[in-house]
Amino acid sequence: MATSFSACVTLNTDGTVNLANSHGITREIFRDHIGGWLVGFHKYLDMSQPLQAELWGILEGLRIAWNCNFERVCCQIDCTEAHKLVSSKSAHCSPISIVRAIHAMIVKA
C-alpha cells in the first residue's frame, strides 16, 4: 500500500564495490521527517565501479520513492562526484546514461 507524505522523506544511499572482483552493492534507506524508518533495500551489481554503485543507489532510490508516492524526497549521498553529476545543469545530456536516467526521474516529479 503506497503512502503519501507531505513532509520531506530522506533517502540515505551508499554504494560499495569489492575492488578484487568488481562486484558491487548499493544500500538505501528511507526515513520520515522525524527519522523513523520507512523502507530499506539493497541491490547487487555485477561488474561495477564505485561511482556506478553510488549512481545506481540514487536511481533505485528515486524509483522506489516514485512507486511509494513520496511527494518530497531529500537525497543524502556521500559521493561528491555523484552529486556533481546529477545536480549539473547538463545532467539531461550527460554521456553517462544512468545520470540521464536520474535526471529524468527528478524532472518527472
List, for residues 25-81, the tens digit of each pLDDT value.
Answer: 999 999 998 999 999 999 999 878 899 999 999 999 999 999 999 989 999 999 999
List domains and CATH numbers for the chain. 9-78 (3.30.420.10)
- Record the pTM: 0.87
Cell numbers 507531505 correspond to: 6
Nine cell digits for residue 63:
524509483
Taking the CA atoms of 66, 18, 51 and 15 in sequence, report the sign of the dihedral they define.
Answer: positive
From the centroid of its chain, how far is CA 57? Answer: 4
- Give the Cα separation of 40 and 71 in Å (integer): 17
